[in-house]
Amino acid sequence: MNTPLEQKMAQLKQHPVVVPPHPAWPELNNPQKAKLKEEIRQLLQDKNAVLVAHYYTDGDLQALAEESGGCVSDSLEMARFGSQSDAELLVVCGVRFMGETAKILNPEKRVIMPDLKATCSLDEGCPADLFREFCDAHPEHTVVVYANTSAAVKARADWMVTSSIALPVVQHLADQGKKVLWAPDKHLGHYVQKLTGVEMLLWPGSCVVHEEFKSVALSRLRKLHKDATILVHPESPDEIIRQADVVGSTTALIKAVKDLPNQKFIIATDEGIFWKMHQLAPDKKLIAAPTAGEGASCESCAHCPWMGMNSLQNLKQVLETNKHEILIDENIRQQAVVPIRRMLDFAATR
């Protein structure tokens, strides 16, 4: 007979997160884009605002962030940049947990996003009330959560990690003889567990984008491109990771394209990252890892539908209307900042 908690966890596995259709923004020609970008630049200046964009957003947004003095980076650097900036208003192009992390670290600043409905399947698949129950049922474990979680989930955690620092943090806990409760990405958790050998209890979440990469199609593609190097983000399933030449965070994969002497790469992560890779290594050939083929769903493509909710159009709107502000209960914020600061302090010692 299952306990009530086990029954709820089983239900969670049976009801996958509903993925929205990819938003269809009206096609803009180059003069229209240039005009919109200029208007946004002016609005950012007028409002003492800075634009912070994730590597998975549209290339036009990434370019605008850089051209206007903002930044393009992974979720950790986005939050760090926000803290170090003098701007009063942080405009986050990405998904909601990124806006929340920026607000948790910068309570005195206003944080807005083009669309607050831009979420993440990992965040959605880890509801805070059930997560708290799960943690309470395993009090002997140290709770480590991935950045892709809500403020309320972070508030229940001992540590927050990003994919770039997950391995050393878990190894550090293992060296102290700790057992780890890991949430929400089961694939990243499994990868960390495999490399560290640490006893970990895994929450059953996954990323809808990385879950779509197909191992048989990937090995076929590799046979066609024998000289290609396979780069994989560790949110991908194990059978994809096992084919990788390099496994790493978004920043690590970009660095691999830039620094390795290889000329051709097959890349298993969101295609938004190609903009930065092309910028840093314009002569290298980048091939998207396959998502179609056997087992593919109608949503199969290597682009996050929630990241796709950010566009030049709604970025301009949110700057004009001042809507879509991230607000976090102060009690939650004060608890959620603890595991984030713990990670930042740990990172600073390395």
160 touches ligand SF4 by CB under 6 A: no
**Interface with ligand SF4 (CB under 6 A), residue from 77, 100, 115, 270:** 270
Single out the segment in contact with ligand SF4 by CB under 6 A; choices: 126-134, 203-211, 252-260, 292-300.
203-211
Query: Cβ 114 to ligand SF4, closest distance in Å?
Result: 14
Query: Cβ 172 to ligand SF4, closest distance in Å?
Result: 24
Nearest to 307 by CA among 55, 34, 40, 27: 55
Query: What secondary structure, in 3-state letters, does 190-239 show?
Result: HHHHHHHCCCEEECCECCCCHHHCCHHHHHHHHHHCCCCEEEECCCCCHH
268 touches ligand SF4 by CB under 6 A: no
**Interface with ligand SF4 (CB under 6 A), residue from 95, 113, 232, 343:** 95
The answer to whether 89 touches 294, Cβ cutoff 8 Å, is no
- Identity of the residue numbered 55: Y
Residue 293 Ramachandran class (φ > 0 left, ψ -120 to 50 alpha, else beta): left
Which one, 126 or 173, has the nearer CB to ligand SF4?
Answer: 126
162 touches ligand SF4 by CB under 6 A: no
Distance CA 163, CA 176 (A): 21
Token pair recorded at residue 54: 């994730």
**Interface with ligand SF4 (CB under 6 A), residue from 148, 150, 236, 291:** 148
Query: Cβ 56 to ligand SF4, closest distance in Å?
Result: 6
Distance CA 62, CA 53 (A): 6
Query: Cβ 88 to ligand SF4, closest distance in Å?
Result: 27
Distance CA 311, CA 168 (A): 35
191 touches ligand SF4 by CB under 6 A: no
309 touches ligand SF4 by CB under 6 A: no
Query: Cβ 95 to ligand SF4, closest distance in Å?
Result: 4
121 touches ligand SF4 by CB under 6 A: yes
Secondary structure class of 185 (helix, strand, coil): strand
**Interface with ligand SF4 (CB under 6 A), residue from 40, 166, 188, 209:** 209
- Identity of the residue numbered 211: E
230 touches ligand SF4 by CB under 6 A: no
What letter does residue 350 receive in the DSSP assignment?
-
Single out the segment in contact with ligand SF4 by CB under 6 A; choices: 42-50, 83-91, 196-204, 303-311.
303-311
